[in-house]
Structure 1
Amino acid sequence: MGEAEVERLLSRGDLEQVSPNDVHANALMEQANLDLDTARQLAQTNPTRAYESLYEAYRQSINGLLARQGLAVTREGGHVAYGEVFGHQTGGKEEYVDLFHEMRTRRNDLQYPTEATMAVFPEEVTERIEAVRLVQQMANSGRIGPF
Protein backbone atom coordinates (compact mmCIF):
# COMPACT_ATOMS: atom_id res chain seq x y z
CA MET A 1 0.00 0.00 0.00
CA GLY A 2 1.23 3.46 -0.80
CA GLU A 3 4.54 2.27 -2.24
CA ALA A 4 4.90 5.28 -4.53
CA GLU A 5 4.29 7.66 -1.63
CA VAL A 6 6.78 5.80 0.59
CA GLU A 7 9.32 5.98 -2.26
CA ARG A 8 8.68 9.73 -2.43
CA LEU A 9 9.34 10.07 1.34
CA LEU A 10 12.54 8.05 0.89
CA SER A 11 13.74 10.20 -2.00
CA ARG A 12 12.95 13.39 -0.05
CA GLY A 13 15.03 12.11 2.85
CA ASP A 14 12.07 11.97 5.26
CA LEU A 15 12.50 8.19 5.57
CA GLU A 16 15.47 5.90 5.26
CA GLN A 17 15.79 2.18 4.68
CA VAL A 18 17.30 0.17 7.52
CA SER A 19 17.48 -3.55 8.25
CA PRO A 20 14.08 -4.90 9.34
CA ASN A 21 14.28 -5.61 13.06
CA ASP A 22 11.46 -7.48 14.81
CA VAL A 23 13.17 -7.29 18.22
CA HIS A 24 13.40 -3.50 17.99
CA ALA A 25 9.86 -3.32 16.60
CA ASN A 26 8.51 -5.37 19.50
CA ALA A 27 10.28 -3.14 22.02
CA LEU A 28 8.76 -0.05 20.39
CA MET A 29 5.30 -1.65 20.39
CA GLU A 30 5.71 -2.53 24.07
CA GLN A 31 6.63 1.09 24.80
CA ALA A 32 3.53 2.17 22.88
CA ASN A 33 1.43 -0.17 25.05
CA LEU A 34 2.95 1.32 28.21
CA ASP A 35 2.28 4.84 26.94
CA LEU A 36 -1.33 3.94 26.19
CA ASP A 37 -1.74 2.46 29.68
CA THR A 38 -0.24 5.63 31.16
CA ALA A 39 -2.71 7.74 29.21
CA ARG A 40 -5.60 5.66 30.55
CA GLN A 41 -4.34 5.90 34.13
CA LEU A 42 -3.74 9.66 34.04
CA ALA A 43 -6.72 10.77 31.94
CA GLN A 44 -8.74 12.01 34.93
CA THR A 45 -5.96 13.24 37.23
CA ASN A 46 -3.36 14.65 34.83
CA PRO A 47 -4.90 15.00 31.37
CA THR A 48 -2.00 17.01 29.97
CA ARG A 49 0.53 14.27 30.75
CA ALA A 50 -2.02 11.67 29.61
CA TYR A 51 -2.37 13.42 26.24
CA GLU A 52 1.41 13.51 25.79
CA SER A 53 1.58 9.78 26.57
CA LEU A 54 -1.24 9.11 24.15
CA TYR A 55 0.60 10.93 21.38
CA GLU A 56 3.74 8.91 22.14
CA ALA A 57 1.71 5.69 22.00
CA TYR A 58 0.55 6.66 18.51
CA ARG A 59 4.03 7.65 17.33
CA GLN A 60 5.76 4.60 18.79
CA SER A 61 3.18 2.29 17.20
CA ILE A 62 4.07 3.75 13.81
CA ASN A 63 7.76 3.61 14.70
CA GLY A 64 7.41 -0.10 15.54
CA LEU A 65 5.66 -0.80 12.26
CA LEU A 66 8.42 1.00 10.36
CA ALA A 67 11.15 -0.93 12.22
CA ARG A 68 9.48 -4.18 11.22
CA GLN A 69 9.38 -2.99 7.60
CA GLY A 70 12.97 -1.82 7.47
CA LEU A 71 12.12 1.87 7.44
CA ALA A 72 12.94 4.71 9.83
CA VAL A 73 11.93 8.36 10.02
CA THR A 74 14.91 10.72 9.63
CA ARG A 75 15.61 14.00 11.39
CA GLU A 76 14.56 15.75 8.19
CA GLY A 77 11.21 13.98 8.21
CA GLY A 78 10.68 14.56 11.89
CA HIS A 79 7.38 13.84 13.55
CA VAL A 80 5.43 15.04 10.50
CA ALA A 81 6.67 12.04 8.51
CA TYR A 82 5.11 9.55 10.96
CA GLY A 83 1.60 10.67 10.12
CA GLU A 84 2.32 10.85 6.41
CA VAL A 85 3.82 7.39 6.09
CA PHE A 86 1.15 5.74 8.22
CA GLY A 87 -1.59 7.39 6.17
CA HIS A 88 -0.05 6.13 2.95
CA GLN A 89 0.43 2.64 4.32
CA THR A 90 -3.18 2.39 5.45
CA GLY A 91 -4.40 3.06 1.94
CA GLY A 92 -4.63 6.83 2.23
CA LYS A 93 -7.02 6.85 5.18
CA GLU A 94 -6.89 10.57 5.84
CA GLU A 95 -8.52 10.24 9.26
CA TYR A 96 -5.31 8.67 10.58
CA VAL A 97 -3.14 11.38 9.04
CA ASP A 98 -5.45 14.10 10.34
CA LEU A 99 -5.62 12.60 13.83
CA PHE A 100 -1.85 12.21 14.02
CA HIS A 101 -1.22 15.80 12.90
CA GLU A 102 -3.92 17.13 15.22
CA MET A 103 -2.37 15.27 18.14
CA ARG A 104 1.16 16.32 17.18
CA THR A 105 0.15 19.98 17.01
CA ARG A 106 -1.76 19.76 20.30
CA ARG A 107 1.15 18.02 22.02
CA ASN A 108 3.52 20.76 20.79
CA ASP A 109 1.17 23.40 22.17
CA LEU A 110 1.16 21.61 25.53
CA GLN A 111 4.93 21.28 25.67
CA TYR A 112 5.52 24.88 24.60
CA PRO A 113 2.50 26.65 26.13
CA THR A 114 1.55 30.24 25.56
CA GLU A 115 -1.22 32.26 27.15
CA ALA A 116 -3.49 31.05 24.35
CA THR A 117 -2.84 27.32 24.99
CA MET A 118 -6.07 25.63 25.99
CA ALA A 119 -6.11 23.19 28.89
CA VAL A 120 -6.60 19.51 28.15
CA PHE A 121 -9.76 18.02 29.58
CA PRO A 122 -10.11 14.35 30.49
CA GLU A 123 -12.75 13.91 27.77
CA GLU A 124 -10.23 14.97 25.12
CA VAL A 125 -7.94 12.15 26.20
CA THR A 126 -10.62 9.49 26.54
CA GLU A 127 -12.04 10.35 23.09
CA ARG A 128 -8.69 9.55 21.49
CA ILE A 129 -7.71 6.46 23.47
CA GLU A 130 -9.83 4.15 21.33
CA ALA A 131 -8.49 5.67 18.09
CA VAL A 132 -4.90 5.15 19.20
CA ARG A 133 -5.71 1.59 20.31
CA LEU A 134 -7.02 0.90 16.79
CA VAL A 135 -3.83 2.33 15.31
CA GLN A 136 -1.82 -0.02 17.52
CA GLN A 137 -3.89 -2.96 16.35
CA MET A 138 -3.36 -2.03 12.71
CA ALA A 139 0.38 -1.56 13.22
CA ASN A 140 0.59 -4.97 14.91
CA SER A 141 -1.79 -6.81 12.60
CA GLY A 142 0.69 -7.92 9.96
CA ARG A 143 -1.68 -6.60 7.27
CA ILE A 144 0.84 -3.88 6.52
CA GLY A 145 3.77 -5.94 5.30
CA PRO A 146 7.46 -5.26 4.75
CA PHE A 147 8.33 -2.42 2.42
Structure 2
Amino acid sequence: MSENIQALLASGRLERIGKMKTLQAFLLKDARQHLHSAVLLQKSDDVNGAFQLAYDSTRKSCAALLAYHGLRVTSRGGHFALINCAGELSSSIGQLYSEINDLRQLRNAIEYPIDADRSPSSDRLSYSIALAERVLALVSAEVAS
Protein backbone atom coordinates (compact mmCIF):
# COMPACT_ATOMS: atom_id res chain seq x y z
CA MET A 1 0.00 0.00 0.00
CA SER A 2 1.38 3.40 -0.96
CA GLU A 3 2.63 5.93 1.57
CA ASN A 4 -0.11 8.31 0.47
CA ILE A 5 -2.85 5.78 1.26
CA GLN A 6 -1.19 4.95 4.57
CA ALA A 7 -1.15 8.67 5.41
CA LEU A 8 -4.85 8.99 4.51
CA LEU A 9 -5.61 6.03 6.79
CA ALA A 10 -3.51 7.44 9.64
CA SER A 11 -5.17 10.85 9.37
CA GLY A 12 -8.68 9.39 9.49
CA ARG A 13 -9.54 10.53 5.96
CA LEU A 14 -9.75 6.92 4.82
CA GLU A 15 -10.87 3.77 6.63
CA ARG A 16 -10.64 0.04 6.08
CA ILE A 17 -14.00 -1.64 5.61
CA GLY A 18 -13.07 -5.03 4.22
CA LYS A 19 -13.87 -5.93 0.64
CA MET A 20 -17.58 -5.34 0.16
CA LYS A 21 -18.83 -6.69 -3.16
CA THR A 22 -22.39 -5.57 -2.43
CA LEU A 23 -21.26 -1.98 -1.82
CA GLN A 24 -19.05 -2.06 -4.90
CA ALA A 25 -21.96 -3.36 -7.04
CA PHE A 26 -24.34 -0.75 -5.60
CA LEU A 27 -21.92 2.09 -6.34
CA LEU A 28 -21.30 0.91 -9.90
CA LYS A 29 -25.06 0.59 -10.48
CA ASP A 30 -25.53 4.15 -9.20
CA ALA A 31 -22.66 5.37 -11.39
CA ARG A 32 -24.29 3.81 -14.46
CA GLN A 33 -27.68 5.33 -13.62
CA HIS A 34 -26.18 8.78 -13.03
CA LEU A 35 -24.30 8.58 -16.32
CA HIS A 36 -27.46 7.60 -18.19
CA SER A 37 -29.35 10.50 -16.59
CA ALA A 38 -26.52 12.92 -17.42
CA VAL A 39 -26.75 11.95 -21.08
CA LEU A 40 -30.52 12.53 -21.05
CA LEU A 41 -30.18 15.88 -19.26
CA GLN A 42 -27.45 16.99 -21.65
CA LYS A 43 -30.19 17.59 -24.20
CA SER A 44 -32.08 19.90 -21.82
CA ASP A 45 -31.41 23.34 -20.35
CA ASP A 46 -30.20 21.83 -17.06
CA VAL A 47 -26.48 21.95 -17.83
CA ASN A 48 -25.49 22.10 -14.16
CA GLY A 49 -27.68 19.10 -13.32
CA ALA A 50 -26.22 17.08 -16.18
CA PHE A 51 -22.69 18.02 -15.11
CA GLN A 52 -23.42 17.12 -11.47
CA LEU A 53 -24.67 13.69 -12.53
CA ALA A 54 -21.62 13.11 -14.74
CA TYR A 55 -19.36 14.11 -11.85
CA ASP A 56 -21.31 11.90 -9.42
CA SER A 57 -20.93 8.99 -11.82
CA THR A 58 -17.17 9.51 -11.85
CA ARG A 59 -17.06 9.88 -8.06
CA LYS A 60 -19.13 6.75 -7.43
CA SER A 61 -17.00 4.75 -9.86
CA CYS A 62 -13.94 5.81 -7.84
CA ALA A 63 -15.74 4.90 -4.59
CA ALA A 64 -16.49 1.44 -6.05
CA LEU A 65 -12.78 1.00 -6.75
CA LEU A 66 -12.00 1.80 -3.13
CA ALA A 67 -14.69 -0.64 -1.94
CA TYR A 68 -13.11 -3.31 -4.14
CA HIS A 69 -9.87 -2.74 -2.22
CA GLY A 70 -11.66 -2.70 1.15
CA LEU A 71 -11.41 1.05 1.67
CA ARG A 72 -13.81 3.95 2.10
CA VAL A 73 -13.29 7.69 2.41
CA THR A 74 -14.56 9.19 5.67
CA SER A 75 -16.42 12.48 5.99
CA ARG A 76 -13.05 14.05 6.88
CA GLY A 77 -11.54 12.90 3.59
CA GLY A 78 -14.01 14.29 1.13
CA HIS A 79 -13.94 14.06 -2.63
CA PHE A 80 -10.28 15.08 -2.88
CA ALA A 81 -9.17 12.10 -0.81
CA LEU A 82 -11.43 9.81 -2.83
CA ILE A 83 -9.96 10.86 -6.17
CA ASN A 84 -6.43 10.84 -4.77
CA CYS A 85 -6.81 7.33 -3.36
CA ALA A 86 -8.45 5.96 -6.53
CA GLY A 87 -5.51 7.28 -8.53
CA GLU A 88 -3.11 5.51 -6.18
CA LEU A 89 -4.99 2.21 -6.42
CA SER A 90 -5.28 2.12 -10.21
CA SER A 91 -2.67 3.30 -12.67
CA SER A 92 -5.43 3.77 -15.28
CA ILE A 93 -7.35 6.10 -12.98
CA GLY A 94 -4.06 7.70 -11.91
CA GLN A 95 -3.42 8.70 -15.52
CA LEU A 96 -6.78 10.53 -15.47
CA TYR A 97 -6.17 12.19 -12.09
CA SER A 98 -5.77 15.73 -13.45
CA GLU A 99 -8.94 15.50 -15.53
CA ILE A 100 -10.97 14.03 -12.68
CA ASN A 101 -9.63 16.64 -10.26
CA ASP A 102 -10.58 19.39 -12.73
CA LEU A 103 -14.15 18.05 -12.65
CA ARG A 104 -14.06 18.08 -8.85
CA GLN A 105 -12.94 21.71 -8.82
CA LEU A 106 -15.63 22.75 -11.31
CA ARG A 107 -18.21 20.88 -9.26
CA ASN A 108 -17.11 22.82 -6.18
CA ALA A 109 -17.33 26.13 -8.07
CA ILE A 110 -20.88 25.28 -9.19
CA GLU A 111 -21.95 23.93 -5.80
CA TYR A 112 -20.38 26.74 -3.75
CA PRO A 113 -20.37 29.79 -6.06
CA ILE A 114 -18.40 32.86 -5.09
CA ASP A 115 -19.28 35.12 -7.98
CA ALA A 116 -20.86 34.71 -11.41
CA ASP A 117 -22.42 31.65 -12.96
CA ARG A 118 -19.91 28.83 -13.36
CA SER A 119 -22.02 26.61 -15.60
CA PRO A 120 -19.94 24.37 -17.85
CA SER A 121 -19.99 24.97 -21.59
CA SER A 122 -21.64 22.34 -23.77
CA ASP A 123 -18.17 21.14 -24.82
CA ARG A 124 -17.09 20.86 -21.19
CA LEU A 125 -20.27 18.96 -20.36
CA SER A 126 -19.69 16.55 -23.26
CA TYR A 127 -16.11 16.03 -22.08
CA SER A 128 -17.31 15.41 -18.49
CA ILE A 129 -19.77 12.77 -19.69
CA ALA A 130 -17.09 11.10 -21.84
CA LEU A 131 -14.71 11.07 -18.87
CA ALA A 132 -17.39 9.56 -16.62
CA GLU A 133 -17.94 6.83 -19.24
CA ARG A 134 -14.22 6.13 -19.38
CA VAL A 135 -13.78 5.98 -15.60
CA LEU A 136 -16.82 3.72 -15.22
CA ALA A 137 -15.49 1.36 -17.91
CA LEU A 138 -12.00 1.26 -16.37
CA VAL A 139 -13.25 0.61 -12.85
CA SER A 140 -15.81 -1.97 -14.02
CA ALA A 141 -13.08 -3.87 -15.87
CA GLU A 142 -10.70 -3.68 -12.93
CA VAL A 143 -13.15 -4.96 -10.33
CA ALA A 144 -14.33 -7.74 -12.68
CA SER A 145 -10.84 -9.23 -12.93
Mark yes or no: TM-score above 0.5: yes
Who is 1:56 aligned against? 56
Query: Which amino acid in structure 2 is aligned with residue 140 of structure 1?
Result: S
Gaps of 5+ in 1: none
Residue pair 1:42, 1:49 contacting (<8 A) in 2 also = yes
Residue pair 1:39, 1:125 contacting (<8 A) in 2 also = no
Tell me how far apart the structure 2 counterparts of residues 20 and 95 of structure 1 sit (CA, whole Å).
Answer: 24
Local SS of the residue matching 1:142:
helix
Who is 1:12 aligned against? 11
Local SS of the residue matching 2:142:
coil
Residue pair 2:63, 2:72 contacting (<8 A) in 1 also = yes
Residue pair 1:83, 1:96 contacting (<8 A) in 2 also = no
Closer, same or farther: CA 19–116 of 1 in aligned 2, 3 Å: same
Closer, same or farther: CA 51–88 of 1 in aligned 2, 3 Å: same
Who is 1:113 aligned against? 113
Local SS of the residue matching 1:110:
helix
Who is 1:33 aligned against? 32
What is the CA distance between 1:143 and its match in structure 2?
Answer: 6.3
Query: Which amino acid in structure 2 is aligned with residue 13 of structure 1?
Result: G
The 4+ residue runs of structure 1 with deviation greater than 6 A are none
Tell me how far apart the structure 2 counterparts of residues 112 and 143 of structure 1 sit (CA, whole Å).
Answer: 33
Alpha-carbon RMSD across the aligned residues, in angstroms, is: 2.1
- The answer to whether residue 22 in structure 2 is matched with residue 44 in structure 1 is no
Query: Which amino acid in structure 2 is aligned with residue 26 of structure 1?
Result: A
Residue pair 2:51, 2:129 contacting (<8 A) in 1 also = no
Local SS of the residue matching 1:141:
helix
Who is 2:85 aligned against? 85
What is the CA distance between 1:95 and its match in structure 2?
Answer: 4.5
What is the CA distance between 1:120 and its match in structure 2?
Answer: 2.2
After superposition, what is the alpha-carbon deviation per residue over 1:2-27, rounded to whole angstroms, capped at 9, x for unaligned? Answer: 63332222122221101211111101
Query: Which amino acid in structure 1 is aligned with residue 48 of structure 2?
Result: T
Aligned length: 144
Tell me how far apart the structure 1 counterparts of residues 131 and 92 of structure 2 sit (CA, whole Å).
Answer: 16
Gaps of 5+ in 2: none
Query: Which amino acid in structure 2 is aligned with residue 98 of structure 1?
Result: S
Residue pair 1:86, 1:96 contacting (<8 A) in 2 also = no
Closer, same or farther: CA 93–52 of 1 in aligned 2, 3 Å: closer
What is the CA distance between 1:112 and its match in structure 2?
Answer: 2.3
- Length-normalised TM-score, structure 2: 0.87
Paired-residue identity, %: 24
Who is 1:135 aligned against? 135
- Length-normalised TM-score, structure 1: 0.86
